[in-house]
Amino acid sequence: MSLLFVNACPREGSRTERLARMWLDRHAHGEMVKEFVLADLDVEPLDSAGPNTIGDYSKAVAAADYAHPMFRYAKEFSEADEVLIAAPFWNYGVPAKLHAYLELVCSQGVTFDIDEAGAYVSLCHIRRLTYVMTAGGGEVEPLDDHAFGYVRTLAQRFWHVPEICRVAAWGLDGPQADVDALLEEALN
């Protein structure tokens, strides 16, 4: 069994990373864990210029040629049995670097494909995806959570992940907040 830990916590001493490591201590027994620290990686979105152009992506997908380095994250992702993503809840969404990473992971021909009827077909082995997040403010309505909602939609629509979980700790910046207790509560 392999677990891919996508660490999108750019801040040293991140409470989100702390919660993710607590989760790993409880759930990753006997699994090989591979960690990607996004702050340390050269993750660039698809664009008209730069290392990952939309033109290069389109040509590669049309030719089923996935040798370009932009596909390396999608390949790792598609081979994982389980994925843990840890990202702070910023501005009601995901950090930009995580968004760019997920854009590269959503690679047709590597993590998903489209069948003759136009339906998405998963090319991933993922049986469970867990999304860990923390927020300084209080819990938001589901319609305003553009972080987990976005990741959940990708996991459901593209990769057909059978089990998708959210572990969230809210209100960590409150004047009376017991951060340790709130993190522990999120795990339970």
Q: Which CATH architecture has domain 2-187?
A: 3-Layer(aba) Sandwich (3.40)
Residue 178 exposure: Cα atoms within 13 Å on the Cβ side: 5
Average pLDDT, the chain: 94
Query: Is the pLDDT assigned to residue 55 strictly greater than 90?
Result: yes
In whole angstroms, give the CA distance from residue 7 to residue 134. 13
What pTM was computed for the model?
0.94
Using only C-alpha atoms, what is the Rg of the chain?
A: 17
Query: Is the pLDDT assigned to residue 111 strictly greater than 90?
Result: yes
Residue 31: pLDDT band with limits 50, 70, 90: confident
Comparing 46 with 5, the larger pLDDT belongs to: 5
In whole angstroms, give the CA distance from residue 64 to residue 123. 14
Length of the chain: 188
Domain boundaries, the chain: 2-187
In whole angstroms, give the CA distance from residue 106 to residue 102. 6
> Per residue in 145-179, pLDDT tens?
899 999 999 999 999 999 999 999 999 999 999 99
In whole angstroms, give the CA distance from residue 45 to residue 61. 16
